[in-house]
Amino acid sequence: MQRLAFSAVVLALGTVVPAGAYAQAAPGRTYNTVIEKLARGEPVIGGTIDTPDPDTYCAVANAGFDFTWIEMQHSALTYSEVEDMIWACRGAPAIPFIRVPDATEGDIQKATDIGALGIIIPMVDDVQKIRNAVTFAHYPPLGKRSQGGGRYGALWGNDYRATANDNVMIVAMIESPAGVAIAREIANEPGVDAVFAASSDLSSFSARRQGDPEYEALVSVIKDETLAAGRVLGGPLAWLGSRPEDGYLFFQGPGAGALIRTGARATLEDSDPCRFLPPGTAPVPGEDPCEE
């Protein structure tokens, strides 16, 4: 897999301009490094956070991911807990993105106030939903976001009011056939920066698994409409390796629990090569150092 591949796709499609389809004349400072990487055609990967622990958050945010995918749809995290995590780990390289539970004014207000630079909207099957998200996530004149207290200034600088509209990304997730049916409208809605093809709910809704032609046809629509609209295409991390030519650039990676399991397995096998061997298996053919 070559980085070139991504750029090639990107170039073929014209310029990828995240947060730009909606941007104002004189773009300001960019501190959302995810936007910069995507603009260069590089893939970005988010580590998933679904537990309210600042130390765990920081471990993920400093582990090599480009952003944190703070999961508030399928977790019970409160904004108060998420605020503490983002703040405790300010300065980490991963940019905070929040998958909000819904696109209400309250959700988007709080997510942006506490400093998220990415808002991921689940289950978009209605244009009004993503339009609301865009509206509440951007300051006037682009949207109707309210100004007021928050951590954003201490996190991102005193010019936040002037620069936020260029740094807050909107990611629309299409997770059902009803969403696929309006994929073109979603992808072309001003202010939508990326469209994410969600594999798991798409299976649940379509009752088809990955690889099934019916399932793949749904995914193709999302992919084609997104790229045709010049937006960033997102999907599960497995597709970074398995669909390298498809133009996916924005990926959701594993959560802290899965990372701990992977890390523990590596650590324990390294320390004690016999630890996880099933009985009767020799790590090196012909020898079995793990049996007495």
State yes or no: is 138 an active-site residue.
no
- Residue 43 near a second copy by CB under 8 A: yes
> What is the smallest separation between the CB atom of 34 and a second copy, expressed in angstroms?
15
Instruction: Please give the structure tokens belonging to residue 229.
Output: 């609209």
> What is the smallest separation between the CB atom of 185 and a second copy, expressed in angstroms?
19
- Residue 274 near a second copy by CB under 8 A: yes
Which residue is catalytic, options 29, 74, 265, 275? 74
Binding mask 11-40 for a second copy (x = CB under 8 A): ------------------------------
> What is the smallest separation between the CB atom of 167 and a second copy, expressed in angstroms?
17
Binding mask 122-161 for a second copy (x = CB under 8 A): xx-x-------------xxx--x-xxxxx----------x
Alpha-helical regions (H) of the chain: 3-13, 33-39, 54-61, 79-88, 105-113, 127-137, 152-156, 160-167, 177-181, 183-188, 199-206, 213-228, 238-242, 256-271
- Which is closer to a second copy, CB of 217 or CB of 266? 266
Say how far apart CA 272 and CA 94 lie, in whole Å. Answer: 33
Q: Which long-range contacts (CB under 8 A, 24 or more apart) does 135-144 make?
A: 136/103, 136/104, 136/105, 136/108, 136/109, 136/112, 137/108, 137/111, 137/112, 137/168, 137/170, 137/191, 138/22, 138/164, 138/165, 138/168, 138/191, 139/164, 139/165, 142/22, 142/24, 142/191, 143/191
Coil, helix or strand at residue 208:
coil
Residue pair 189/132 in contact (Cβ under 8 Å)? The answer is no
Site for a second copy in 202-261 (CB under 8 A): 204-205, 207, 237-238, 240-241, 251, 253-261
Site for a second copy in 64-93 (CB under 8 A): 64-65, 71, 73-84, 87-88
- Which is closer to a second copy, CB of 179 or CB of 229? 179
Candidate list 17, 63, 142, 181; residue touching a second copy; CB under 8 A: 63
Site for a second copy in 192-211 (CB under 8 A): 200-201, 204-205, 207
Q: Which residues are catalytic?
A: 74
